[in-house]
Amino acid sequence: MSFIDIRDISKSYGEVPVIKNLSMSVEEHEVVCLIGPSGSGKSTLLRCINGLEAIDDGEIQVHGDRITGPGVDVDALRQDIGIVFQGYNLFPHMTVLENITLAPIRVLRQSRDEAKENAMALLKRVGLAHKAKEYPDRMSGGQQQRVAIVRAMAMDPMVLLLDEITSALDPELVSEVLNIVRDLASDGMTMLLATHEMGFAREVSTKVCFLCDGSVYEEGPPEQIFGDPSRDRTRAFLRSIREAKRI
Amino acid sequence: MSNATRHSAHLIKPAGNGRRLRIGGMPRVPAALLILSIAVVCAVVAGSWYTIAAARASLAAELGGLWVDAAAALLAVLSVLVAWPLARAIRRCGSIRKAARRQDVSEARVARSSARDQCFIALGYALAQLIVIVACQFLLANNQTVAKTFFLAPLMIKTFPLVLAAFWTNIEIFLVAEVLVLVWGLAVALAMFAPGAGGRPLRFIATAYVDIFRAIPAVLVIYLVGFGIPLTGISFLKEISSTTFVIIALTLTVGAYVAEIYRAGILSIHWSQTAAARSLGLSHMQTLRFVIVPQGIRQIIPPLLNAFIALQKDTALVSVVGVIDSFNQSMLIASNYYNLSAVTTVALLFVVISIPQTRFVERMMQRDRRRMRAGA
């Protein structure tokens, strides 16, 4: 039994199928990168695991517990499964510190001091302790995304889902965010990340899944997927990425 | 070669070939604009003098004396000030000609642009002055009856304490109603967002309430609640004063509008904020309370203020159930003296309380933006 077990799930928006009979598994402490063309279902898959989207068919299990379908307390589920979005989605009316401590105080019922202490420790780790009192819109994209990661980490999740977290960033800000992900990976954080940063995916992941038309088309260790992909569409995808000099 | 590419080869003509910029050439005096400005300014100054003379004649009959003459003379001089930018425009036109003689294109362009600006300034101020003249003529019309009907100063001063005392009733009504409306409107708005199948009846009732009370004229609600409920003879409602009923009626009416405003504010917050809040494990209500409503409220402060000013003005409607507010009081005065000046006092009082609110909220919003936005 795997840590996260995704069994034959399907999801469509109205008439448009986004995920079709997708199955995959993630072990604890694994870093799984989801790559693939846009519209292949990477983001939707992450949102389904977090319960932000309901799936139509199949099921997802974490540690043998079913987390999809009727009767699941999604609020409780999300406390253990964190997600970071492409657009940061920080709360603009709150300071950095308030953004981070909101959920620990209101959901986990931590005391204000405890939540603040945790938040400051995490902020220090990402080099933003001095920005605790700042408002998000006054910070750079890279800084905001680091705060968003801290906000998710403050809930002490079992899994962290990262949804194209560098896609909205200026190129020179990408590395400051990726360094944090690298850091979390070396700490053994279980992560699933949808990404277009192929070089980073190759370096940090333990497994790469190439998604195509809503299902896993090819999966394997990064050396194999990037070095010697066995199937046509994976090859075609990686070739077009290389031609755009993005790898 | 495809059609498109062949076409595009002809789209861009080769540069050079003696092609000149269209802005080239020596600028000329903007004669038509200058003549128009001169004509308009002359007409407006003549009209001003005519109006000032008429006002002096009628005021001299009442007040008499040197002051009226002095004031009229001062106004007559001031009314000519509108010709000042015109004089500058004419001077600039001289510069255009001089620069043209020197073949100084750049200098001539600057002078022409400046001359046009001055002409438009003269036209703009002349138009404003014309509006003032027309208003003054209206007041002076029919041997100043208009002015005396609406602005009879001695009567206004004499009745001011009475009107002001009654105005406190308006203030009391709208202050209490505003607090109630803020709470009630939010409650209704949240009911309109009640989640799930269980929330459906609540959503339905809240929406129906908003639709119905936005449709009914406020004056009808005040009349029905203010007169009707005491008629029902329900014992515990008997003791309530008609001022309280009026407050309830206004809260019901304005609450429907404000609920709509809250709803629009909540809807204006991008769904990604909800996604972020829910992804952290916050419940529906927690998401609304900590993330969506606080942001929504910032969006709706201007429309909320509009609703409040409308509410403040609607307090004048309470006269239909016999509450002695400032409007009712002023109508009594008006019928006693056969003159509406006391009603004008009420109008002025409403103006005086409304303008500072607008400015205050504007400043507050600016401060809020500065705090949260970059580059401040």
B260, B210 in Cβ contact below 8 A? Answer: yes
Domain-located, residue B290: yes
B82 contacts B66 by C-beta, under 8 angstroms:
no
ipTM of the complex: 0.90
Query: B34 lies in a domain?
Result: yes
Is B281's CB within 8 Å of A75's CB? yes
Looking at the fold, whether B165 and B272 belong to one and the same domain comes out as: yes
Q: How many domains does chain A contain in total?
A: 1
Domain with residue A84: its CATH number is 3.40.50.300
Put simply, whether A75 touches B (Cβ < 8 Å) is yes
Contacts of A79 in chain B (CB under 8 A): 280-281
Count of residues in chain B: 376
Res B288: pLDDT:
93
Please check whether residues B306 and B336 belong to one and the same domain: yes
Q: Please tell me whether residues B90 and B193 are part of one structural domain.
A: no
Do B210 and B345 lie in one domain? The reply is: yes
The per-residue pLDDT for B144 is: 78
Flag whether residue A155 sits within 8 Å of chain B, measured between CB atoms.
Answer: yes
Other CB atoms within a 10 A radius of the CB of residue B14 amount to: 6
Overall domain count for chain B: 2
Residues B258 and B331 in one domain: yes
Q: Which domain holds residue A235?
A: 4-89+158-243
Q: What is the pLDDT of residue B1?
A: 44
Beta bridge partners of A13: A16
Kindly state whether residue A112 falls inside one of the protein's structural domains: no
Look at B279 and A91 and tell me if their CB atoms are within 8 Å: no
CA B282 to CA A107: how far, in whole Å? 6
Identify the pLDDT of residue B2.
Answer: 46
Size of interface A-B (CB pairs under 8 A): 71
The pLDDT score that the predictor gives to residue A151 is 96
Looking at B143, B164, B191, which one is the last position of a domain?
B143
Radius of gyration of chain B from Cα atoms?
A: 32
Which uninterrupted H or E stretch holds A208? strand A207-212
Dist CA B237 CA B184 (whole Å):
20
B124 HSE (CA, 13 A, CB side): 7
Given this model, what pLDDT does residue B8 score?
52
Determine, yes or no, domain membership for A101. no
Residue of chain A whose Cα is closest to the Cα of B368: A93
- pLDDT < 70 stretches in chain B: 1-17, 64, 374-376
Residue B194 forms part of a structural domain: yes
User: pTM for the full model?
Assistant: 0.76
Q: What is the pLDDT along chain A (247 residues), one digit of tens a residue?
A: 789 999 999 999 988 999 999 999 999 999 999 999 888 889 999 999 999 999 999 999 998 889 998 888 889 999 999 999 999 999 999 999 999 999 999 999 999 999 999 999 999 999 999 999 999 999 999 999 999 999 999 999 999 999 999 888 888 888 889 999 999 999 999 999 999 888 889 988 999 999 999 999 999 999 999 999 999 999 999 999 888 877 6
- Contact assignment for B286 to A151 by CB distance below 8 Å: no
Q: What is residue B11's predicted lDDT score, i.e. its pLDDT?
A: 66
pLDDT in tens, B276-294: 999 999 999 999 999 999 9
Where residue B364 sits, what CATH number does that domain have? 1.10.3720.10
Whether A74 is covered by a domain: the verdict is: yes
Determine the pLDDT at residue B15: 63
Same domain, B302 and B231: yes
B216 lies in which domain range?
Answer: 155-372
Q: Are residues B265 and B172 in the same domain?
A: yes
Query: Residue B150 falls within a domain, yes or no?
Result: no
Could B279 and A107 be called an inter-chain contact, meaning their C-beta atoms sit closer than 8 Å? no
Report pLDDT for B299: 82
Judging contacts by C-beta atoms under 8 Å, the chain A residues touching residue B277 are 91
